[in-house]
Structure 1
């Protein structure tokens, strides 16, 4: 028997007025291209009814990169473009995975990030809409793995079993967001939805699938996700994303604040020091060539402190200065490296992929 759900979904709106007997699923791929014209939502938001992948939405991707570049304390991974709003510029609603950068282990949350880009191309974060926030006892835990539902065989199987009998509204699964352990498991799936009747518009729905211990599956709950309903408004729960970082003028000051010794050169080729900051347990130095940034960190302990949660096709190891560095990249270049000396952890993350030789040279100069 299912227990009561405890979503920390600050962003959830009212359940759809349609009864549960009139829902249906469309097993289309999340990035399938739809042909219906965009339908504005109340408040001026337009649901993205085409490709949701950021790689297919270069303007939103560029705005996300600009808006999050100097955001301290959290690392964000853009998962999908959910919608846009045309103002004096453009507002973007982007589904993100938010990872707290904490040397003692941070929280993973699922949010809708709102970004405003003005007509000059300046972009800033204007707010968040929390779907899965801080983990509560008995609540949902954010997915920290692959978000494509078809890549999660158990979840996808339960989803198809539960949704096959529903009629009246079609649902296209876009992302597997998280799970909740009950007497069985609840899975939270973000779907693009549309009524099966003339003139119906697209929307976003949060579908909870319950799978019991025998493998049977059923729909537990379906709630609308209304764009623009940011935290701190209406009935939304407030989930504070604070800034634990402090800017410093020198590497020495940052290292002292972090509780480590830290030595880096003043430049790597054309990359020069552009920003220095620290928090408890981690010191960070950013190098810029005017267009791209290389971020170098050193922290206490042996955990990965890079804040880089990208998935790479190529992963290799290299012995450098007596330590084994893990090099990560896609294609021919290397974009990230992490290693430890047994007492402290180190990382290098580059906006632009470097040659293996360049990355190894950088690593050799960090102490």
Structure 2
């Protein structure tokens, strides 16, 4: 059932409730997937604790968050510089900042940044995330919270649009600027003619889906007479083959809304969602990753304690968490190690006509990468090993894959 009528009714109800001094608490939390709501969230209510607490707050203080007129990252170099100071390759995915959604001046600055997320091992797997960055007065920056955005995803599975949503059918826009997508703006303009009480200003096209017509996912800034400051809404628009368009789903979020545990920036770091799945055998992990994955039962005296995988990548870890060696195999011909540390010593060795690139410090090998033109491999020793041990381990791993 389409959500058009429900959304219009919700807008009317929100206006009436605000006139009576009530606010519906329907916004989703940062750090979890956004939930479907049809109402525009206000941030008029503050707790005494929020008003009096010191430091950088992520709790959406009324008037505290500023939505920029220009959200393009090139127009906001200070926000780009802040996120570039953080570790933007996390959990085997790359986070590309594409838009500054808002900022808040506190004891330093909070930034709310929309990022395009790309798997490092399956470059066709892309998504979005809202990333909160706190930069203190000394210029140190860290990621404090995140919120995943999966196009077409709702609490019931997929957004109900004008035709069946096919999982994986959404295409992420290479460029999100609306001036590059006049057809999306035109579709929204047709669809919102029946809406009253709020103004939807499209600021970015996040993705499209070709069905019997086209589904658009647009990021819109929403202003209404009862909302003191703008907020954001993801608006799904379906345009059929005859050019008729309608809004089929909306979902909104409030800048700075965060889980209680992570409400203060600069205090707690939010862990990124873990895409790995554990398996009991290397063969099972290989099937999940879509590749043959064979490993020796031991490397030296170290036994396997963890086997895991996700699409395009499999990993086995030997030893213990305090003294582990990990081995990965991936479908992409790339550095799949996940090790982004800087090393002072770099060298190479030849094993079975393959060049193994080594990196380490103080005479110890901490990592190695190689490929065979079809797959990539990596070796990582958490505490470092001798050159002789690294050579023996890597030789055993290569022999197992012949």
- The normalised TM-score by structure 1 is 0.54
1:56 to partner: Cα distance: 2.0
Aligned equivalent of 2:205: 176
* 1:158 is aligned to 2:187: yes
CA 1:3 to 1:206, structure 2 compared with 1: closer, same or farther past 3 Å?
Answer: closer
Aligned equivalent of 2:279: none
Aligned equivalent of 2:274: 240
* 1:91 is aligned to 2:110: yes
Aligned equivalent of 2:355: 261
Note if contact 1:52-1:81 (Cα within 8 Å) is conserved in structure 2: yes
CA 1:228 to 1:145, structure 2 compared with 1: closer, same or farther past 3 Å?
Answer: same
Structure 1 Cα separation of the partners of residues 68 and 252 of structure 2 = 16
- TM-superposition CA deviations, 1:41-99 (whole Å, max 9, x none): 44775141422122222221110111146657222221111112333322210011011
Structure number having the greater helix percentage: 2
2:37 to 14, 39, 51: 14
Structure 1 Cα separation of the partners of residues 252 and 179 of structure 2 = 22
Larger Rg computed on CA atoms: 2
Structure 2 Cα separation of the partners of residues 13 and 105 of structure 1 = 28
CA 1:230 to 1:74, structure 2 compared with 1: closer, same or farther past 3 Å?
Answer: farther
Structure 2 Cα separation of the partners of residues 212 and 200 of structure 1 = 35
1:246 to partner: Cα distance: 3.2
- The normalised TM-score by structure 2 is 0.50
Note if contact 2:111-2:133 (Cα within 8 Å) is conserved in structure 1: yes
Note if contact 1:210-1:217 (Cα within 8 Å) is conserved in structure 2: yes
Aligned equivalent of 1:54: 73
1:187 to partner: Cα distance: 1.3
2:251 to 217, 223, 231: 223
1:2 to partner: Cα distance: 6.2
Root mean square deviation of aligned Cα: 4.4
- TM-superposition CA deviations, 1:172-224 (whole Å, max 9, x none): 111111234555432110011111x3773211111110112333111112222
Matches within 5 A, 1:290-309: 300-301=373-374
Structure 1 Cα separation of the partners of residues 243 and 257 of structure 2 = 35
Unaligned runs of 5+ in 1: 19-39, 265-275, 284-297, 304-367
CA 1:170 to 1:2, structure 2 compared with 1: closer, same or farther past 3 Å?
Answer: closer
CA 1:194 to 1:120, structure 2 compared with 1: closer, same or farther past 3 Å?
Answer: same
- TM-superposition CA deviations, 1:218-268 (whole Å, max 9, x none): 11122222223458989xxx8436796136855457998xx962669xxxx
Structure 2 Cα separation of the partners of residues 76 and 70 of structure 1 = 6
Structure 1 Cα separation of the partners of residues 62 and 88 of structure 2 = 28
Aligned equivalent of 2:125: 107
SS in 1 for 2:256: coil
Structure 2 Cα separation of the partners of residues 159 and 299 of structure 1 = 48
Aligned equivalent of 1:148: 177
